[in-house]
Structure 1
Amino acid sequence: MNRNQVLPQVELSAEPSALKRVDFCAPQSYKGAGFLSISDLPRVAEEVSVINPTDGFSWSVATHFENSPGSEPHQILELGLKGRLHLVCLRCLQDCAVDLDEKRRFILVLTDAEADDYSIEDEEQEPLVVSQHFNLLEAIEDEVLLSLPLIPKHPDGFCEPHASTFGDGADEDAEVERENPFNILKNMKKN
């Protein structure tokens, strides 16, 4: 490829179905933006506690070629995600709005071997194996899932711990006499 060659830029469609087959192997760059509702992301939909009509993610994608000393230019993909979804707060067990605002940078590679050889010390960008029929919608969904908090919870002071999780402090259970689980063994010994 001629290093001075001007490559065409293709505008990506905002339609989720169009994002399922993007040819990142073609000598061109891409740019696009749109909005994905939770229903467009089935694996994310499995994680949410409730789906509000306004929940979802605005996404933006831009690719460009960067020169690398001693080799062909590498294609770089920059992905931006911003949106909201609702998860269960693990403190109070109520719905909790979670806002995400992520920016990711990937170097596009053609094989798993190239990805394996990529330096893991570069924290600014990760290798992403692409093809002529790359599913960009799935990659966006992967990034949403990776961005979810491990322990979703409201901000401090917003909610109280759920009583069934930590006990409600009442001694009602202390007054109720519980059946001894070893009584059955005692009865078996008598027989």
Structure 2
Amino acid sequence: MNRNQVLPQVELSAEPSALKRIDFCAPQSYKGAGFLGILDMPRVAEEASAVSPGDGFHWSVETYFEDSPGSEPHQILELGLKGRLNLICQRCLQDCAVDLDEKRRFILVLTDSEADEYPLEDEEQEPLVVNQHFNLLETIEDEVLLSLPLIPKHPDGFCEPHASTFGDGDEEGASNERENPFNILKNMKKN
């Protein structure tokens, strides 16, 4: 590719089905934005505690070529995600709205070996293996899942721990009254 060559820019469709086959190997750049409902992303829907009709994520994608000293220009993909998902608060076991506002930057590579050679210490961007039938919808869904908190919970002071999670005062008394199982064995041995 000639470094001075101007590449055509293709506008991506916002339709979920159109995002399943994108040719990132073609000599062109892409730009697009849209909204994906929770139900358009089945793996994200499995994580949701409740799904309202307007729940989902606004996404934006832009690819461009960036000069690389001593080699061919690298294709870069910038992905933005913004939205809300309802998860179960692990403190009170009630619905908890989690807001996501993420920006990711990928360097597009053609083979797994190129991805393996990419330096791990580069935290600004990571390699993404692409092909002529790349599923961008799946990548968007992956990034939403990776952005979810490991332990979703309300902000401090917003909720109280659920009684069944940490034990109830009544249950503590009942457990203290139970006989030690070793005493039972000791009594059996005496008899």
TM-score, with structure 1 as normaliser = 0.91
In 2, distance between residues paired with 1:171 and 1:142? 42
Matches within 5 A, 1:23-62: 23-62=23-62
Give the C-alpha shift of residue 174 in structure 1.
Answer: 2.4
Q: Does 1:8 align with 2:8?
A: yes
Residue 73 of structure 2 corresponds to: 73
Q: What is the Cα-based RMSD across aligned positions, in Å?
A: 2.2
In 2, distance between residues paired with 1:171 and 1:138? 46
Q: Does 1:106 align with 2:106?
A: yes
Give the C-alpha shift of residue 168 in structure 1.
Answer: 2.6
In 2, distance between residues paired with 1:61 and 1:15? 14
Greater helix proportion: 2
Q: CA deviation digits over 1:102-122, x for unaligned, max 9?
A: 000000000000000111121
TM-aligned CA distance change 1:164 to 1:171, over 3 Å: closer
In the alignment, residue 85 of structure 2 is paired with which amino acid?
L
Residue 64 of structure 2 corresponds to: 64
Matches within 5 A, 1:132-171: 132-170=132-170
In the alignment, residue 62 of structure 2 is paired with which amino acid?
A
In the alignment, residue 13 of structure 1 is paired with which amino acid?
S
Residue 22 of structure 1 corresponds to: 22
| Secondary structure at the counterpart of residue 52 of structure 1 | coil
Which blocks of at least 5 consecutive residues in structure 2 are unaligned?
none
Q: Does 1:84 align with 2:84?
A: yes
After TM superposition, the structure 1 stretch with the greater mean CA deviation from structure 2, 98-107 or 164-173, is 164-173
TM-score, with structure 2 as normaliser = 0.91
In 1, distance between residues paired with 2:2 and 2:175? 84
Query: What percent of counterpart residues are identical?
Result: 86
TM-aligned CA distance change 1:171 to 1:49, over 3 Å: closer
Which blocks of at least 5 consecutive residues in structure 1 are unaligned?
none
In the alignment, residue 106 of structure 2 is paired with which amino acid?
F
